[in-house]
Structure 1
Amino acid sequence: MNLKKMMQQAAKMQEQLAQTQSELADKTVTATAGGGKVTVTANGAGEVLSIKIDKTVVDPEDVESLEDLILSGVQKAIEEGKALQQSEMSKLTAGMGLPPGMGF
């Protein structure tokens, strides 16, 4: 393989990576905690976009439980966003002929 061809492939890979990252920012995942009392929406770029809290779990005497529910919902949303990102990146690297684990 010559250097020019390798550079062209690297440029194409960079372009595809940028496009995939842009698409991930537009895709969302939703996670819930507390039986749906807290709903967190995040995108494939790992950004939390919104948090919805059912008013029935807002108890001034039990702030810790609400904090736990919010934390759990955010953690689940981030996990799902990372899974979406991994899935999309795996598709990208598979199209490049790289062996599993050699991609991003």
Structure 2
Amino acid sequence: MNIAKMMKQAQQMQKQMGEMQEKLAAEQVEASVGGGKVTVTATGGGDVVAIKIDKSVVDPEDTEFLEDLILSGVQAAISKGRERAEGEMKKITGGMGLPGMGF
């Protein structure tokens, strides 16, 4: 294969990846846990931007339950964002499994 052609393709892929990362950073995913009692919103980049908690799960005598719900919600939202990012990355790389990319 022509080295110049490979370099051009690599540069194009790098540009697409940068654009995709910017797009994902602006997109939001939402995860609800506990039957919708806790909802967490995160960006595709993995930043948590909002947490909503139904008042019915706020019990001063049982904060561990609420803590577990929040943790589960945050983990689920970040996981959704990562899955979305991996899906977009595979579109760009064609599933080549590039080293160090985690895809």
**Shorter-chain-normalised TM-score: which range?**
0.7 to 0.9
Q: Is 1:80 matched with 2:80?
A: yes
Query: How much has 1:53 moved relative to structure 2?
Result: 0.6
Query: How much has 1:56 moved relative to structure 2?
Result: 1.3
What is the aligned partner in structure 1 of residue 17 from structure 2? 17
The residue correspondences of 1:56-75 to structure 2 (distance < 5 A) are 56-75=56-75
Instruction: State the Cα deviation string for residues 66-95 of structure 1 (Å, max 9, x = none).
Output: 00000010111111111111111111112x
Q: Secondary structure at the match of 2:52?
A: strand
Unmatched tracts of structure 1, length 5 or more: 95-99
TM-score (normalizing by structure 2): 0.87
Number of corresponding residues: 99
Residues 13 and 29 of structure 1: CA distance in aligned 2, closer, same or farther (over 3 Å): same
Code of the aligned partner of 2:38:
V
Unmatched tracts of structure 2, length 5 or more: none
Q: Take 1:18 and 1:101, find their aligned partners in 2: how far apart are those partners?
A: 17
Query: How much has 1:49 moved relative to structure 2?
Result: 1.0
The Cα RMSD (Å) is: 1.3
Identity of aligned residues (%): 57
Q: Secondary structure at the match of 1:42?
A: strand
